[in-house]
Chains A and B, each alone.
Chain A
């Protein structure tokens, strides 16, 4: 055993003992076999769920297998519901949450987390903005204090706002504007496939909108969306639940409750005819193609059926689209996508697309690729899937769930718990995911394929190359 004994000195120096052994040759004598039986019901995540008087929802999930705690604070405000005329504001605001609060100046939140041995980040997605840290277990109280401090209010200067406008504009440049296929299809497909402004605007933000943001906007955005009643706090890892509850009461319980604004109607009409759009990317050397379909409402049996369709058609090298487009036809080296390109099939609330994309050579036409896709989809629309294909999809899902449950940063676990709390008021749903997939019948899959994998429910987005293979304009 290698054992690290922490806390040996005031500086936090870890003392380490080694008892591992390295042997060379002779073959080890066989020891009695220890059976590793497949579990019947998949993952079992402990879930404790309650609400503070100010409306903050709290999820505790204890697992002391490693001495860290992952803390996530999720606010129910994503880029799809940001104000008109302020595109990109939800994301810019995420940056501002690191710029100072009543008791923490600029950079001090980051210093407090990393300087105590933690990792941190934040992200903005369709329906939430999240802030998360993995911290050594003994620093949990410090981090809870800091998260509560910025939930109580921000202290942003004009200088800090201007600074972060510059940072975000550089983020857009490095991720989108200065890259071939920048924003394709994760940023631009929703703009073509959706009808409602909420689902179809530029989520990263137009640069003019980013520049127009004021300190008044910052305050009003905070007041509207960052109320405790619009948030979930999740702790997963090594903590004493009674102690954690006491700290949460002390620090988060002290944040005054505020009214929570209702959410806008972000629904999409049923799509009745195919949409097509093509554009020239001046930096792209080869054509690219993306297809997207609207998926069934989240959490319904049809949605779980679509999750299995995604596994059978798109996920992994065994999937039907990979086998057809990559292995058999040789059109591309990979086909990539899924339900919700910026997350997974659970961490959003509202309309969503199933999207995939690929690059191909000019010798292959868009129509050739689309007709092969059509052939793959037609099989699923015409006949129920093979039992072996369905079983394989369920196996992949089980392995994915174990991957989430066994990850050392616990980000995926915290994300699912937070999403089920924020959008369903039911974080324990995480333990029923596998059963909900297993309840899907082959007949339901066929019905969902026929209704949702219609040509008239899809959008085809084509990138035309603005560069030749040699590196200049064609």
Chain B
């Protein structure tokens, strides 16, 4: 229990409320209750496809999610082509039209989702339990038997062009694009938005080629979580996927983050805020430093309790939701600090963030502060894994990274093992301003000079990009 420290100079507005020095302490928490996770069962078919079953949850619903180990990592420079392929899957199969897919999904209580991320593409649906086998048949049909109707491609490409035009006006998308390309260069994960003209050139052959090269049983893992008739559902999935071709093994091509300092500017005249992004390589989920690092991130900028939040929001009022996070690609972690700050305090905000990094490197955090952060992460762990969908997502993440079950079962123990000295060590080893890429999207006439003059950024390779 963290002691409550009385703050001086409270202006007490409430008649009858006591002065600060006689404050009442909160009642201490009781004894933690047990948290029980369900057992998972994983089955691997001869063609290489895996299936994991989790019987879990309080309501008669079941989620089926098929993940395929592909995505931007395989796009070969054809940015957003994997997304287009996933959208095309929903446009019809050999036996179902797009309308059939939408209606059958809704008749089971669900919406079929299909999408591509950096390293995983998914087709998934959540339905009423009595429709579990119907959902399995629908997911398998969409994944295995796409019709790829030529008639729908121009419409989807026009949608992507429209979305791109909007992204090019959003400060967050512009900052993300700039940061990724500065950090990851020509690697597929370095390109988050297509170049002008790129989308219009995609053909049905490109869609078919990507699908043929990247889909198959060996890359696919079907997760089932919720309440369901296990034998019937397993039989349905075996029937639907058992004769799928093995296909390729997953691509191994982790990106390497830049290690020399860079400063990227994107002009957005008259913007009332500057969108700041700072990034540097970080431990991935399998790295020995992962647990101390992720706890360090939570303390530095990854929670409402964090030092950067306390400083630039709750003390200075420069920003609404400053936040740091760890992007966990397979074998490549990236620490990213994001803050949209009021224009006149752009350099001030960067200065304060650097100040918090320096301070945490120079002195280990007090035990009580770190204890609160660990409690927060342990509490999040319970909430995140307390629903079928939450735990299913966790298992899919573990499989992507090749993590053993102990990652999950020892997670809380590892978090509580982190020491104050390790926190400072993590900042020194990883969150090094002299290796960072910094991006500023905003009114450059007003902010550029002051940002360039920050000591951490003097000498950084400087780049400016048009929108």
Contact = CB atoms under 8 A, between A and B. Distances in A.
Nearest to B319: A170
B303 interface: yes
A415 B112 CA distance: 27
Given A36-B228, A110-B305, A396 B109 contact: yes
A262 interface: no
A47 interface: no
Interface in A159-177: 162-171, 173-175, 177
A240 to B, nearest CB: 11
A15 B158 CA distance: 53
A111 B372 contact: yes
A332 interface: yes
A469 B106 contact: no
Contact of B7 (A34, A105, A170, A284): A105
Nearest to B127: A399
Given A4-B34, A20-B41, A177-B272, A36 B159 contact: no
Interface stretch (A48-56, A150-158, A367-375, A439-447): A150-158
A116 B379 contact: yes
Residue with the greatest number of chain A CB neighbours at <10 A, chosen from B60, B316, B413: B60
Given A36-B60, A106-B7, 13 more contacts: A4-B412, A14-B32, A23-B41, A34-B230, A38-B130, A103-B24, A117-B378, A118-B376, A139-B29, A215-B13, A360-B162, A392-B103, A402-B109
B58 A65 contact: yes
Interface string B210-253: 00000000000000000111111011001000000000000000
Contact of B413 (A15, A391, A408): A15
Contacts of B386: 65-66, 68, 408
- The CB with the most chain A CB atoms within 10 A, among B36, B45, B99, B106, is that of B106
A297 B279 CA distance: 51
Contacts of B416: 11-14
A117 B212 CA distance: 46
Nearest to B25: A103
A32 B235 CA distance: 12
A242 interface: no
Nearest to B372: A115
B117 interface: no
B317 A165 contact: yes
B195 interface: no
B61 A115 contact: no
A163 B314 contact: yes
28 contacts: A1-B38, A17-B409, A18-B409, A24-B43, A31-B231, A33-B229, A65-B386, A101-B17, A102-B14, A105-B5, A107-B310, A111-B305, A112-B4, A117-B382, A119-B383, A154-B14, A163-B315, A164-B317, A166-B317, A170-B341, A174-B321, A178-B273, A181-B166, A318-B106, A322-B102, A407-B387, A467-B169, A471-B169
A290 B107 CA distance: 28
B382 to A, nearest CB: 6
B28 interface: yes
B303 A30 contact: no
Contacts of A138: 29-33
B340 A316 contact: no
A63 interface: yes
A24 B221 CA distance: 13
Contact of A408 (B156, B303, B383): B383
B59 interface: yes
B391 to A, nearest CB: 9
Contacts of B388: 406
Contact of A171 (B31, B320, B387, B408): B320
A107 to B, nearest CB: 6
Nearest to A467: B169
A1 B34 contact: no
A2 interface: yes
B231 A399 contact: no
B17 A155 contact: yes
Contacts of B155: 330
Q: Considering the complex of A and B, which 10 residue pairs feature the smallest CB-CB distances, nearest first?
A: A117-B379, A166-B317, A153-B14, A115-B372, A399-B109, A6-B32, A408-B387, A333-B159, A67-B33, A406-B59
A33 B130 CA distance: 13
A462 interface: no
B405 to A, nearest CB: 6
A34 B20 CA distance: 61
Interface in B324-343: 340-342
B5 A361 contact: no
B37 A3 contact: yes
A173 B319 CA distance: 10
B18 interface: yes
B169 A285 contact: yes
A6 B59 contact: no
Given A1-B36, A105-B6, A471 B17 contact: no
B379 A136 contact: yes
Contacts of B111: 316-317
A167 B342 CA distance: 10
Given A102-B23, A136-B33, A405-B58, A174 B413 contact: no
Interface residues of A, number: 132
A12 B168 contact: no
Contacts of A269: none
A33 B385 CA distance: 27
B386 to A, nearest CB: 4
B434 interface: no
A163 B390 CA distance: 36
A258 to B, nearest CB: 12
Q: For B168, B196, B318, B378, which residue has the most chain A Cβ atoms within 10 angstroms?
A: B378
Interface in B107-137: 107-112, 126-130, 132
A103 B4 contact: yes
Contacts of A11: 371, 374, 416
Interface string A61-79: 0010111100000000000
A25 B46 contact: yes
A395 B376 CA distance: 38
A188 interface: no
A395 B42 CA distance: 31
Interface centre among A11, A36, A138 (most CB of B within 10 A): A36
A322 to B, nearest CB: 8
A149 B130 CA distance: 47
B190 interface: no
Contacts of B99: 318, 323, 327
Given A138-B29, A467-B169, A25 B44 contact: yes
A30 B231 contact: yes
A23 B42 contact: yes
A183 B387 CA distance: 33
A238 B386 CA distance: 13
Nearest to B41: A21
B57 interface: yes
B128 A402 contact: yes
